[in-house]
Amino acid sequence: MSTVKSGIAIMDLNVDGLALVILLVAVLWNAMQDLEKRESRWSNRLASTTVGKSDAARNVSVVREPVIDRFDDNLASKLADICGVEPSFDATWFLDSVRIVYETVLAAFAQGDCELLKELLDTGAYDTFAQEIARREAETEHFELTFIGLTRADIVDAGVFNDVMRITVVFESELVMATYNPAGTLISGDPVHVTTSSDLWTFIRNRDSRNPGWKLAVTEANDRNRREEEQLKQAAQIEMV
């Protein structure tokens, strides 16, 4: 009898043990399945993030990479003069810097931030910008400017005159500009359509200046491209005739 009881006890233990083993196997299996799912999700997410970072890095490189035309002999000689005065000068670094200045000046002008403009502009250019801001404020006009993007930034001229280094850059950008009177009526510009702007900005720096930064000295519309386009159109019309 005791043997039977003992056998029953052993059988009970085996059943309980087997149930426990099955339970543990089920738990481990579910855990492994869940782990595989999580690893799969994380792998997909990591791949997506990696692609995103790669695309972002590629986009940044496109945005930051300056558009430098192959300099002709004349311009290369002028830039060599700049390097003669400032051996550390680098055209790529310069264009990267003035791209930022271009956007910053536009934003500061739109916001009427004369203090910031004074840091970036030479005296003559600053006076021109400050006078326009003062006129705008006196007539209580509201000026809006949205910078869409910079499509071109090329060095087109350079030189050294009386120890002052000078570099002219052509900027082409897409902007949305509009000016409103105090009543909110549009008086100039277009708040809806994008305008393509092409300007020549000349930056200067004195060779003896302790400030390594270049300052904006002159801004003017890039009529040179317009004249070339008109000449090409006229030439095409003549050929058609």
pLDDT tens for each residue of 156-185: 999 999 999 999 999 999 999 999 999 999
232-240 long-range CB contacts below 8 Å, 24 or more apart?
A: none
The number of residues in the chain equals 241
What is the average per-residue pLDDT within 110-128? 96
Residue spans of beta strands (DSSP E) within 127-194: 142-161, 164-180, 186-189
The predicted structure's pLDDT at residue 208: 86
The CATH number of the structural domain formed by 67-240 is 3.10.450.240
Task: Name which of 59-73, 89-103, 207-221 the model is least confident about.
Answer: 59-73
Evaluate if residue 117 carries a pLDDT over 60. yes
Identify which of 109, 112, 79 has the alpha carbon closest to the alpha carbon of residue 93: 79
The H or E element containing residue 66 is none
The predicted structure's pLDDT at residue 241: 52
More confident residue, 182 or 236: 182
> At 226, is the pLDDT very low, low, confident or very high (cuts 50, 70, 90)?
low
d(CA 32, CA 46): 20
d(CA 23, CA 28): 9
179: left (phi over 0), alpha (psi -120 to 50) or beta: beta
More confident residue, 208 or 23: 208
The residue to which tokens 């690893």 are assigned:
39
Evaluate if residue 204 carries a pLDDT over 90. yes
32-53, pLDDT tens digit by residue? 444 444 444 433 433 332 223 3
Identify which of 117, 143, 129 has the alpha carbon closest to the alpha carbon of residue 219: 129
What is the pairing mode between strands 186-189 and 215-221?
Answer: unpaired
Identify which of 158, 154, 152, 159 has the alpha carbon closest to the alpha carbon of residue 169: 154
